[in-house]
Structure 1
Amino acid sequence: MTSSGAPFQLRQAALPVYLPTLLFAAGEAAFIPIVPVIAQNVGANLATAGLVAGMLTLGIVTGDIPSGWIISRIGERMAMLWSTLVALLGTALALAATTPLILGAGIFLIGLATSAFALARHAFLTSFVPLHYRARALSTLGGMFRAGAVMGPFLSAGVLALTNNPLAAFWLMAAFTLSAGAVLLFMPDPEKTFGQLTRVKDESGVSLYPGEIEVEKETHGLMATINKNKAVLAKLGVASALVMALRSGRAVIFPLWAVSIGIKDSDTALIIGLATAVDFALFFTSGQIMDKWGRLASIVPSMIIMSVALLALAPTHDLPTNVLWFVITIFLFAIGNGIGSGILLTLASDLANKDNPAPFLGAWRFITDSGAALAPLGISALTAALSLAVASAVTGVAGLIGVVMMLVYVPKYLPRKKNLVP
């Protein structure tokens, strides 16, 4: 808590957290739809292009492990600044890439930076925002991320249409990342904006802000926490990992499909941007569904719709109307994803120990992010061995397995008032 007597206002968090988040998210979203095109330009086949695209989520899950410790040692603001530098290095590698390996390495670095940046901004709000404002602050943070995810593809579509150069998407990433770094570098000292904070010593005696202690707890003793909670993580954790696999699969399958059926890269970015806007528009609907009808009322329809979208896409590759089916299924997927917004964080909060939630939340995030990281690898392997259509169908079936797991295990592990069990 701050010791300043001035009343806290949510807009105080705009400069140090919300604007950099918006910029960073927009930069990432600008290049994600175009990665398969760039990968093919440096010699990748369709399967390898999927593997390269998956390096982002692999970088994120790898970064989950050390990020909490790093933030607890150098602070939230410095962690975000260093993250922008690592992201810029990754972007430079991607721009200079002449092989899929170098391109993948650059995207992997961006994933590492994304993990640390995301955890640092969460810790920042935990440290500096009073408890009774925190839910709104974190909700707004999620909204900024989604707004950036909408902005990026639209801007990318415009720039690609003007330049006819797929690498322009990475130049957008560089510009947005530099802008985020500049905001962080030149912003006022947080304690001057938010008020002086009382530091607390962690177990090793290091003096830290409250948010820094929380993120350190999330990643300290990760394997021990997973082992302690192995029953719920092996069931609801795996089911949630399948949700993340669906979402991560969307970010690989649809761009690859667009390349495979010959959609222009600028048109691909535009279609993905419009679909992301639909997803964003349903963001608050998800919370209303969960609060009124329970967790299952959000997650089950969400997973069914996303799975059906991928299953419906699978047989359409060689149809004369394949572009129309691409548009229909990507928008259907967006609707499903939108009505499930925030469900995994909500489930994690429901399941975590209320007195010390951070270790469980860290373990949960690691399990679910692992699902997101493994999906592109599986999609790439299936595409190489069989076809992209088979990869899409298998991902859809995996989602339906997740539906069954949710129906079985949510009633078992959550209080009745939080699910659909009468």
Structure 2
Amino acid sequence: MPRSAAVRALALSVYLPTFLAEIGIGAMLPIFALSAISLGEPASIASIAVAVYSGGRMAGSAIGGSVASHRGPIPATFAGYGVLAAGALVCASSLHVAMLAVGVAVVGMGHGWVHVARQSHIDALAPSGTRARALTTLAGVWRIGNFIGPVAGAGIIAVLGLRADYVFAAVAVTVAIGVLVFTAPRHLTIPRADRVRLSPKAVLGPHRHVLLTLGVGVVLMGALRQARVVIIPLWAAHIGMSNSSASLVFGVAAAIDMALFIPAGYVMDRFGRVWTAVPSAIALGVGAALLPFASTPALVAVLALVIGAGNGWGSGVVMTLGADASPKKGRAVFLGAWSIMQDVGGLLGPGLVAIGAAIALPVGLFTAGGLGAAAAGAFLKWTPRGRPVERADARG
């Protein structure tokens, strides 16, 4: 496919519906715990209800990879969006925390499912020379949608309450499905006669080496990224910053994060993946490790910007490395496993920070800094150099 046609196809069939759906997802993510508390549960139970989202994501990544590999990226995306919308409606109608947890898990499953299907879609259309830019743009669209979603959700909640926010999310995802109906490339649906089921063992076995080397960097980066969500508000509260000030600092850091996905993609395609992966991990780790020395709100804000810039500079790098390493056959299955590795890191990161913080809060922050150093070392050692080769196969 000519590059201009590929760009147009990606804009209409990937980025636009993803943007719409992510607004809805972004509106939901901050209110899972609030919903549990509104049902009369304590904060500890609310945290457990939120944790099932990550478990759902991992299951969804595996299922989405299997469906995309067997039936194609487009059917997998439609199915994933359907699961997402259903999860949102379950959350909206929850009368007790167990039902809410089921809804949250289904939302997580749908999100992981769509995440892998969208990656597979882009990988099938984008030429290798623009693969990083295509995937970092996807990451940027996620970030923008997740930035707008909570703002829109806040207004809806203020007027109509928490349940209405979930309905809004379901509507946003449904609109995304409607857009995809008219824009989806039909050749990315695998005909029934050509469908072949590939087991994870058959796909992943020959790629054991990359999973146990570069994959370690992916796990560490996932841990570091989730840890950053915890450490900034924790330290801000520790030095006496108000909730509104801490939220403002985090919002500014998120804006810097969103602004860097375009140059990061260009650098990855022009100079190689290592030039974003390693600096991103270093910036995230250094920002975390220096937080215990920030005794004023201004210093916290500066380090939050460093952390936000580090996260933004790494936009799409994990997806791009996964696309580069994925095989021709069973590509989506491989991408599903790659996404699961990042999600496993996402579960580990806050836990490691919590263990360190149980000793003393600075120890938790230094732990996050150590994750950054380890991730930078792993990427420096195992990230392939040079340009990725173009692959002839364009399916699943």
**2:311 equivalent in structure 1:** 337
Distance 1:158 1:278, change over 3 A: farther
**1:394 equivalent in structure 2:** 367
Say if 2:178 is the partner of 1:178: no
Distance 1:131 1:117, change over 3 A: same
With the length of structure 2 as denominator, give the TM-score of the two structures: 0.76
1:284 paired residue among 251, 255, 262: 262
**TM superposition shift of 1:151:** 1.7
Identity of aligned residues (%): 27
Gaps of 5+ in 2: 389-396
**TM superposition shift of 1:283:** 0.8
Say if 2:111 is the partner of 1:114: yes
**2:322 equivalent in structure 1:** 348
**Partner Cα separation in structure 1 for residue 376 and residue 180 of structure 2:** 45
1:22 paired residue among 19, 39, 51: 19
**1:83 equivalent in structure 2:** 80
**Partner Cα separation in structure 2 for residue 236 and residue 289 of structure 1:** 20
**TM superposition shift of 1:242:** 0.5
Distance 1:36 1:123, change over 3 A: same
**Partner Cα separation in structure 2 for residue 312 and residue 112 of structure 1:** 35
**TM superposition shift of 1:30:** 3.0
Q: CA offsets per residue over residues 274-316 of structure 1, 9 Å max, x none?
A: 3222111111221333345443332222111111222233566
**Partner Cα separation in structure 1 for residue 241 and residue 84 of structure 2:** 30
Q: Which amino acid aligns with 1:343?
A: V
**Partner Cα separation in structure 2 for residue 66 and residue 123 of structure 1:** 13
Distance 1:134 1:404, change over 3 A: closer
Distance 1:78 1:173, change over 3 A: farther
Distance 1:130 1:379, change over 3 A: closer
Moved more, 179-188 or 103-112: 179-188
Q: Which amino acid aligns with 1:243?
A: M
Q: Which amino acid aligns with 1:176?
A: A
**1:233 equivalent in structure 2:** 211
Give the paired residue count: 384
Distance 1:173 1:84, change over 3 A: farther
With the length of structure 1 as denominator, give the TM-score of the two structures: 0.72
**1:375 equivalent in structure 2:** 349
Q: Which amino acid aligns with 2:220?
A: L
8 Å Cα contact 1:303-1:399 kept in structure 2? yes
Q: CA offsets per residue over residues 5-39 of structure 1, 9 Å max, x none?
A: xx947545555433321122122223434555555
Q: Which aligned pairs between 1:12-411 and structure 2 lie closer than 5 A?
A: 16-33=13-30, 35=32, 42-45=40-43, 51-71=48-68, 79-95=76-92, 103-124=100-121, 135=131, 140-156=137-153, 162=158, 168=162, 171-185=164-178, 188=181, 194=185, 197=187, 206-207=192-193, 220-254=198-232, 263-264=242-243, 271-314=249-292, 321=296, 323-324=297-298, 326-353=300-327, 358=332, 360-379=334-353, 385-386=358-359, 390-410=363-383
**TM superposition shift of 1:237:** 0.7
**TM superposition shift of 1:373:** 3.3
**Partner Cα separation in structure 1 for residue 327 and residue 101 of structure 2:** 38
1:341 partner SS? coil
Distance 1:368 1:356, change over 3 A: same
**Partner Cα separation in structure 1 for residue 139 and residue 53 of structure 2:** 19
RMSD: 4.2
Distance 1:81 1:263, change over 3 A: farther
Distance 1:344 1:189, change over 3 A: closer
**Partner Cα separation in structure 1 for residue 267 and residue 363 of structure 2:** 33
Q: Which amino acid aligns with 2:56?
A: G
**TM superposition shift of 1:50:** 5.3
**Partner Cα separation in structure 1 for residue 11 and residue 269 of structure 2:** 27
Distance 1:376 1:55, change over 3 A: farther
Q: CA offsets per residue over residues 142-200 of structure 1, 9 Å max, x none?
A: 4422321232244345556x55x9x64x644531331331342476556xx75x64975
